[in-house]
A and B are shown apart, each in its own frame.
Chain A
Amino acid sequence: MKTFLIKKKILIIFFVVLFVGLVFLIFPKFSNKIVNFTYTVFTPIQTCFQKTTKQIKTSWDFLNQLKKIQKDNYILKQKIERLIAENVRLKELEKENQLLRSYLDLPENQRFPVVLAEVVGKDFLGTEKYILLNKGRMDGMKKNFPVIVYNNILIGKITEVFDNFSKAVLVSSPNCKVPVLIQETRTEGLLEGKTIENELILNLVPKDKKIETGQIVITSGIDGVYPRGLLIGEISKVEVSEKEMFQKIKVKPAIEIEKLERVLIITGSKQENE
C-alpha cells in the first residue's frame, strides 16, 4: 500500500488538486472565506514590498530625471496660475448657479457618499488590470460600486467582494466598459480598455460627429452603475475611416491608473444583487 502511494504520488496529488478545485467551484462561499483569509495573511507582506519598491523607484527616477523635473516644474507652475484664474471664474459661476437654482426651486446637486480604501494588491501575472482594495463586505462594499480618486476621476468598479477585501477592475481593462459622453459636444459612446496599451478606446461614436483631440470624456451615467459627470480623460487621437461606421478614438486617462495607492469607493450607486 505504502509503495503504491509513493509510486502514484503525482497522480494522487493531481486528483486532490482537481477535487479541491471542484469543491471551490461548487461552493464559492467556502472558497471566498479561504481567499479572504489568504489576503488577510499576505496583504501586510505585499504592502511592505510595494512601499519599498516604490520608494526605490521614486528615488531612482528623481536622480535620473532632475532636468526633466525642472522643466516640468516650470510648466506646472504656469498651469497652476491658469487653473487659479479658472477656479475663481468657476466659483463665481457656482454662486450664480446656486442663486438661479434657488429662484427656480431646483434641489442642490447631490454629492455621492464615498469610502476611502487602500490599494493593497495588484495582479501577480500582470496580464489583467485589477487592484485589490482593503474594504470588503464587512465595510458595506458591494459588486459594481464605482471606484474613483480625487472625488471625481473614475478609475474602475468593484467586481468581486470578500469579507475584508474587494477586487476592482480598472477602466483600462478590456473587461470594463463604461458609457461616456464627450463634455464639449455631448456625444455619447462606449469606453473600453485595451490589454496591452494603457490608452482607452472610445467606441460607437458616429462618423458625422466632429471630435477633436483634447476634448474631455466624462461618464454619461446611463447604465446606472457610474454616476454622471465623472472624469475619465481626454481624447488623444481621432481616426476616421471611410470603410467603418464609427470613428476610432483613443482616450488618454486623466491619471496614471496603475500607480494608485488610495482610492475612494462610491457607496451610493446601484449595484447588482449578489
Chain B
Amino acid sequence: MKLLISIGFIIILIFVQASLFPYFQIFNTFPNLILIGVLIISILKNYKKSLIWIFLGGWLLDIYSFNNPLGISILSLLCISYFANFLTTNIFKKFNFLSLVLICTGCSLFYRVSLMLGYLLNTGEIRINLIQVFVQIIYNLAVFLPIFYLIRSKIAKISF
C-alpha cells in the first residue's frame, strides 16, 4: 500500500513539475522535484527508502527528456542518494543550514554534470551553459530548503 501511495505521489509530482513549473521558469530552468524528493528522503531516512523514487522518477525523467540516454537519471540519482546519505551520517552530524546548502548544491551540480555526460554520450557534443546550471542550483535550493524544514518539523515520521 505504501508503495502504491509512493508511486502515485511520484507521478503527481513529476507531472506537476512538467506542466506547472514551465510557467515559473527562469533561463529555461525550473526545480527538479524528483531530485529534491530523493535528497530529502536520503537525508531524513536512508538511501534504500528512496529507491522507488530513483527508479520511477529517474525513468520518467529520462523518457520525457530530450537526448538523455535511458538510465542516466537513475544512475545519477542513485549516486546522489548514496552520497547525500553518506554525508549526513558520516560528515554532517547535524542538519544545519550550511550543511543542507552544501549537500543540495553538490547534488544538483552532480546531476547536471551527469546529464551533460549523457548528452555527450548520445550526441558526441559537449554543451555547457553555466548560467543555466547556476540558476538551476539556486532554484533547487529555494524549493529544497523550505520543503525539507517543513517535512522535518511537521511530518518527519511519515514513512515514504
Contact = CB atoms under 8 A, between A and B. Distances in A.
Contacts of B75: 14, 17-18, 21
Given A24-B70, A31-B70, A167-B66, A124 B28 contact: no
A20 B69 CA distance: 11
B16 A49 contact: yes
What 4 A-B pairs come out closest when comparing CB atoms?
A21-B71, A128-B66, A49-B19, A124-B64
A38 B63 contact: yes
Interface residues on A, range: 35 or more
A13 interface: yes
A10 B30 CA distance: 29
A45 B19 CA distance: 11
Interface residues on B, range: 35 or more
Interface of A: 9-10, 13-14, 17-18, 20-21, 24-25, 31, 35, 38-39, 42, 45-46, 49-50, 52-54, 57, 121-130, 132, 167, 169, 174-175, 195-196, 258
A262 to B, nearest CB: 17
B66 A14 contact: no
Contact of A126 (B29, B47, B70, B72): B29
Task: Say whether chain A's binding surface is mostly helix, strand, loop, or mixed.
Answer: helix
Q: Which of B19, B47, B61 gathers most chain A CB within 10 Å?
A: B19
Contact of B70 (A35, A39, A123): A35
A225 B69 CA distance: 26
Contacts of A130: 66
5 contacts: A9-B48, A38-B63, A122-B18, A195-B129, A196-B132
A57 B22 CA distance: 11
Contacts of A52: 19
A127 B17 CA distance: 13
Q: Which of A9, A49, A125, A175 gathers most chain B CB within 10 Å?
A: A125
A49 B71 contact: no
A121 B61 CA distance: 12
Contact of B132 (A21, A31, A129, A195): A195
Q: Which of A52, A121, A126, A167 gathers most chain B CB within 10 Å?
A: A126
A45 B60 CA distance: 13
B23 interface: yes
B153 interface: no
Interface string B9-24: 0010011111111110
Contacts of B69: 21, 24-25
B22 A258 contact: yes
Given A24-B70, A127-B28, A127-B132, A121 B64 contact: yes
Contact of A39 (B25, B63, B127): B63
B47 A10 contact: yes
B126 to A, nearest CB: 13
B115 interface: yes
B131 interface: yes
B18 A124 contact: yes
Contacts of B148: none
Contacts of A42: 11, 15, 60
A103 to B, nearest CB: 50
Q: Which of B20, B47, B59, B71 gathers most chain A CB within 10 Å?
A: B71
